[in-house]
Structure 1
Amino acid sequence: MAAQGPRRLVAAVDRAARARGLRPGMPVAQAQGMVVDLVLAEAAPDADRAGLTRLSAWCLAYAPLVAPDPPDGIWIEIAGAAHLHGGEAGLVRDLTRRIAAGGFAVRAAVADTPGAAWAVARFGRRRGRDGRDPAREEARGGPDETRGGLVPPGAQGRELAELPLAALRLEAEAVAGLAALGVERVADLAGLARAPVRLRFGGAVLTRLDQALGHAPEPLTYLAPPETLAVRLAFPEPIGGAETLARAVAGLTAALAADLGHRDLGARRLDLVCQRVDGLPQSLSVGLARPSRSPRHLARLFADRLALIDPGYGIEAARLIAARVEPLRARQLAGTAGPAEGGEPEALAELIDRLAVRLGPRRLYRAAPVESEWPERSARRVAPLAPASGLTWPAGLPRPARLLDPPEPVQALALLPDAPPASFAWRRRRCRVARADGPERVFGEWWRSDAEISASRDYYRVEDETGARYWLFRDAPAAEGGRWWLHGLGEA
């Protein structure tokens, strides 16, 4: 509850109170009359605003442009940064899951305009960016259901048409006045003549409608991360050409690299924010496999993606932000005696960065050993430059060049109970075995589950008449009716 002069009003309600008919803004005395055992808590608006600001700062991990929207909203400009989190759907899914895990109820939406995203997140039905219902993408982890809606590009008008006028963030008096005229939906308001609406209800009603539909810009006040290294370049005349923008980015990376060098830092993530003359920002983000402050390398990473920036009627300023930095000490450069120590890792890191920009960071990984007897569990994906764990695979155990996960069933014929198969059929093709080696027995990992206490596999390396090599196993002794499976192809 909150005090408003001599009156005490309900500031917020939970789900149970809302189900009993309580609403924010009603007098506390009325609420207590409706619910006898009502539990009241004093509102702390200052603490709420501080908490929202902290949560907004945490959201900077997803995109460089984040703005709090009191009392309970956050704007995130994800254009140019969604690919770092698996696309728009992946970003929404990960963001809502992590916030819900902290005990918050979450509703999120992605749209072309802030107003449309605000409306769909609070009043709209859940849809994917391709028009499909993403209900199966939802996760649970908080006191309320986590929701995510993705409005198809350019479809905000269709998505908002059936929503109530409150979805446009209008004042309660304007909503009530329009409702008295029979105007209850956004489509009803959009169909009215604009001049009478402006004359009777003021320009704010039409401004909110235009902002939601994308007909008018909506400037937002974005957060600036504390102690963030950034450089800015303003242009005498708006620019729009790709080559001109590339030269500007090269100048920004050179200036930022100098600042990083003065602090013995290297960038791990860079955010480029271009301010258009119409007030709409365009942003790009790139991640690096290891810290770097090489101007040439940083500029090259952006050069591959500058085509994604829509200059509109021109870009009047650009800002390059080092969103994530790590210590990077100076080192000895290569001399005439040969390459400097550590030169090869730097070249590898630059190659990984360029591939990540083109293919996506999730597609780059290396296999790291895992202490497990079962082959499909003996490796895991790690970052390309992740430090070595010290584990290695046994040198005396040959393994196939390609492992099938999961193993594929085959029909095999063995002449003796523990002998390798004489022939087998795989994918409608029969192979006659010319040479074989085995068995190599592998037992189940009993500490994982009871089903693996007595599990075992007998592996055989076989070669058919054409010279092709396969890795087969039987998941139980022949006397127990074990089945044959193909687990690998070739030989490492």
Structure 2
Amino acid sequence: MPRVASLYLPQLAIDRLRAIEARAGKRPEAPADPHPPFTRSSSPNAVRPEPVEGPVRGPAPGLRQAQPERTEDGLIPNRSGGWRPGARWAQSPDAPEGSDPWLERRIAKKRAKRDELQAQIDQLPAHQRPAMRELGRRSEPAPMPFKAMPPDEGARAPRPPYNLEGAFWQQGAIMTRAVAEGMSRDRGSTHGHMPRTIAPLSPSHHPPFTVRFEQSREPATNAPLRLCSNRTVVEEETGPLVTAQKHGNKILVAAACPAAQALGLTPGMALTHARALVPGLDVRDADPAGDAAFLDRFADYAARRWSPAVMATGDGLWLDLTGTAHLFGGEAKTCARIRRFCARLGLSARIAVAETGRAANAMARHLPGPVTLLEPGREAEALAPLPLTCLGDEEHVTDAARRLGIDTVGDLMALPRGPLTRRFGRTLLRHLDQALGHRPEPLCPVIPTDAAEAEVRFLEPIATAEAIEEAIRHAMALLMAELAARGLGARAVTMLCRRVDGGDQVAGIGTARATRDAAHLLRLMRMRIEGIDPGFGIEAIRLVAIRSDPLGAQAIGGLVDDRPDLAPLVDQLAGRLGPRRLFRRAAVESDVPERSTTRITPLAEGAAWSTNWPRPVTLLRRPEPVANVLAELPDRPPKRFTWRGQPHRVTRGDGPERIYGEWWRGRREADAVRDYFRVEDDQGARFWLFRRGDGADGRTGDMSWHLHGLFG
């Protein structure tokens, strides 16, 4: 019996945009869920599982949802938000003063577990009991009831997530990080410092955000999923946000957040109309290509994790759960697991399971509950009250049917098929048959590709550098053959050496561009051999191309290409000095000098430098203040100044060149003005100085002088 799940992401564009802004340093916003977590469906046979599965906890018993009391001077005792165990305003009135029910339960649970372990140890013979050093610390402290201080307030920064490249047996899961590349990892991960309301996550699949399931004492309809990052829970609602895209001569709304939809804004509406309805509307550019690329990565991850047959649709996924749901505890727990993962990515999701993919797709998009499980053979009864658009037909077909009074799927099923075929064609009835299971619907699954790898095993362990180099040479030849068969070139190669004691030695190299030159890669890997500790011997060596790019034939300008190939030199310098110490400077479109340059890789092509205005050869990272400046206002260069304790007398000067601040970045730059001067002192040194302010309006600057660069 086939079972297909349809995962619907109603706010994919909005949630992805907010996640990108959160990584950029802005406050993360919670994806709103306007639908109640579990409500009754119009179909009497739709089964609703429990919304949360696993170790999900809510507020401690005895706590009430109350605002914190203010002291006599008007200050709130708990400034960090949330509740603090032991606080007077967070305790129940009938609880004894100074008690904390949650803390007492945790301590009692730890004591019971310790007593059970001690009883097992006492049953062992004396010579088999573990030593004290093997047991570690036997007296565990009480759990810390207070929140950890954020890193930006002086606390120690949390350690980064677990490195997948550090374990031999986890290399097969390296490519599963593809879904997180579009929303990269959060550098402030709470791995190792998990809050008490969060279930520990697998280190090999650490999400970019941490989700907190808040379960209040109210009904489940008021408990949406909340997104948090770096232990910060977003409490307040966000303003209306829409994305816009140009269609012909019009600019239309591509996606709207739930807050915007509640104000009457819908996708497809003209942007001018939306701005007239909601003044101050937050509008962003739509990125359909980025959304599609993220969805493809998500489908690749799902095919590796939940089901081997996954197909990406325009706004979600289809997953074939036939024969796989029991691996996760059933369909209900599988759906709950998928929704929790989507919540960790910051995505609001609804999912439905039925015998056909089109029926599951219709229920996921038109039923209010986040999870809907349909019993086998009940598709017709469940689809009957749904609108005709749930079948996925074109808009002109559904409009024509609506003019004839066919509004729901039930109305369509009650009519004879012959006249419907002559009037609407075969597509409408074919979709209906596919939804009811009368006609098969092919599923075009994504095929995840594993990273190219090569492994060499030995009859006897090896330990010398010469033997390791010869083994790497043989494994590199096998890896290059595998890459050539796929039409790829290696950009990053990781070597894993398994020792006889079970330990792994890891080393990696990278290249500036894709290559299949085995000799060049062997030279780079040879520099890593000295850092390998063979121990009692190495029994296997494995090479994995963790990053690869397409590599094919390239056209050249003539019969002979005289341009030197700098890629091997760049790779060797980066291998010795480090990849971050080898870079080039490229121009960025910005009038502010400190923002007009950026770092790029040595072989990357950057933007052309502007020649409209002269710029110094050496630009200081930050402008340095100068003292004892003597200059005539408002637009004359300085006569003398002191920089780094050294006085300079100016003999020549040119300027000013006025540069205005980028007003869209903030209020501080709305009226900011800089007047730049090129000056030369009596020793022949040339400097680039500027004065804050125009000399007439005090809002433009404080009239202080700074040195920003040095000419050659």
> Where on the TM-score scale, by shorter chain, does this alignment land: which range?
0.5 to 0.7
Matching residue of 2:707: 486
| 1:19 is the counterpart of 2:235 | no
Amino acid at match of 1:484: W
User: Which 5+ residue runs of structure 2 have no aligned equivalent?
Assistant: 1-52, 61-100, 110-160, 175-184, 204-228, 235-447
Aligned pair partner of 1:406 in 622, 631, 656: 622
Aligned pair partner of 1:438 in 631, 641, 655: 655
Residues 96, 106 of structure 1: 8 Å contact kept: no
User: How far apart are the structure 1 equivalents of 2:580 and 2:651?
Assistant: 41
Aligned pair partner of 1:392 in 608, 611, 614: 608
Residues 286, 301 of structure 1: 8 Å contact kept: yes
Matching residue of 2:34: none
Matching residue of 1:362: 580
User: How far apart are the structure 1 equivalents of 2:686 and 2:107?
Assistant: 71
Secondary structure of the corresponding residue to residue 63 of structure 1 = helix
Instruction: Output the TM-score relative to the length of structure 1.
Output: 0.55
User: How far apart are the structure 2 equivalents of 1:267 and 1:365?
Assistant: 20
User: How far apart are the structure 2 equivalents of 1:11 and 1:396?
Assistant: 63
User: How far apart are the structure 1 equivalents of 2:569 and 2:476?
Assistant: 18
Matching residue of 1:265: 488
Give 1:490 shift.
1.8
Distance 1:67 1:241, change over 3 A: closer
Residues 188, 230 of structure 2: 8 Å contact kept: no
Instruction: Output the TM-score relative to the length of structure 2.
Output: 0.39
Residues 190, 231 of structure 2: 8 Å contact kept: no
Matching residue of 2:601: 383
Give 1:286 shift.
1.9
User: Which 5+ residue runs of structure 1 have no aligned equivalent?
Assistant: 1-9, 27-58, 69-73, 78-90, 110-138, 145-224
| 1:327 is the counterpart of 2:550 | yes
Aligned pair partner of 1:279 in 495, 498, 502: 502
Matching residue of 1:296: 519
Give 1:226 shift.
5.7
Q: What is the identity percentage for the equivalent residue pairs of Structure 1 and Structure 2? A: 43
Residues 64, 271 of structure 1: 8 Å contact kept: no
| 1:310 is the counterpart of 2:527 | no
User: How far apart are the structure 2 equivalents of 1:106 and 1:255?
Assistant: 39
Amino acid at match of 2:609: W
Amino acid at match of 1:312: G
Residues 676, 688 of structure 2: 8 Å contact kept: yes
Give 1:472 shift.
0.4
User: How far apart are the structure 1 equivalents of 2:667 and 2:55?
Assistant: 49
Give 1:95 shift.
5.8
| 1:465 is the counterpart of 2:661 | no
Give 1:392 shift.
3.0
Higher percent of residues as strand:
1
Matching residue of 1:65: 167
Residues 13, 23 of structure 1: 8 Å contact kept: no
Give 1:433 shift.
0.9
Amino acid at match of 1:362: R
Aligned pairs (5 A) from 1:13-412 = 13-14=56-57, 16-17=59-60, 19=102, 62-63=164-165, 65=167, 93=187, 96=190, 140=230, 227-331=450-554, 338-339=560-561, 344=564, 347-388=565-606, 391-411=607-627, 412=629
Matching residue of 2:25: none
User: How far apart are the structure 2 equivalents of 1:276 and 1:142?
Assistant: 43
Aligned residues: 313
Aligned pair partner of 2:670 in 453, 456, 460: 453
Secondary structure of the corresponding residue to residue 463 of structure 1 = strand
User: How far apart are the structure 1 equivalents of 2:582 and 2:198?
Assistant: 33
Secondary structure of the corresponding residue to residue 319 of structure 1 = strand
Residues 13, 22 of structure 1: 8 Å contact kept: no
Give 1:356 shift.
2.5
Amino acid at match of 2:671: S
Amino acid at match of 1:233: V
Distance 1:485 1:332, change over 3 A: closer
Residues 232, 320 of structure 1: 8 Å contact kept: yes
Distance 1:383 1:95, change over 3 A: farther
User: How far apart are the structure 2 equivalents of 1:25 and 1:315?
Assistant: 47
Matching residue of 2:637: 420
Give 1:363 shift.
2.7
Distance 1:424 1:377, change over 3 A: same
Superimposed CA distance per residue, residues 22-47 of structure 1 (whole angstroms, 9 cap, x where no aligned partner): 67999xxxxxxxxxxxxxxxxxxxxx
Amino acid at match of 2:648: C
User: How far apart are the structure 1 equivalents of 2:657 and 2:524?
Assistant: 48
Amino acid at match of 2:645: R
Residues 190, 230 of structure 2: 8 Å contact kept: no
User: How far apart are the structure 1 equivalents of 2:626 and 2:528?
Assistant: 47
Distance 1:256 1:25, change over 3 A: farther
Residues 168, 504 of structure 2: 8 Å contact kept: no
Distance 1:427 1:289, change over 3 A: same
Amino acid at match of 1:437: D
User: How far apart are the structure 1 equivalents of 2:594 and 2:704?
Assistant: 18
User: How far apart are the structure 2 equivalents of 1:25 and 1:328?
Assistant: 61
Distance 1:332 1:475, change over 3 A: closer
Secondary structure of the corresponding residue to residue 279 of structure 1 = coil
Distance 1:107 1:262, change over 3 A: closer
Secondary structure of the corresponding residue to residue 324 of structure 1 = strand
User: How far apart are the structure 2 equivalents of 1:406 and 1:425?
Assistant: 17
Give 1:361 shift.
2.3
Secondary structure of the corresponding residue to residue 687 of structure 2 = strand
User: How far apart are the structure 1 equivalents of 2:58 and 2:167?
Assistant: 31
Secondary structure of the corresponding residue to residue 16 of structure 1 = coil
Compare relative contact order (CA 8 Å, sep 6+) and give the higher one, 1 or 2.
2
Superimposed CA distance per residue, residues 184-227 of structure 1 (whole angstroms, 9 cap, x where no aligned partner): xxxxxxxxxxxxxxxxxxxxxxxxxxxxxxxxxxxxxxxxx962
Residues 269, 325 of structure 1: 8 Å contact kept: yes
User: How far apart are the structure 1 equivalents of 2:450 and 2:612?
Assistant: 53
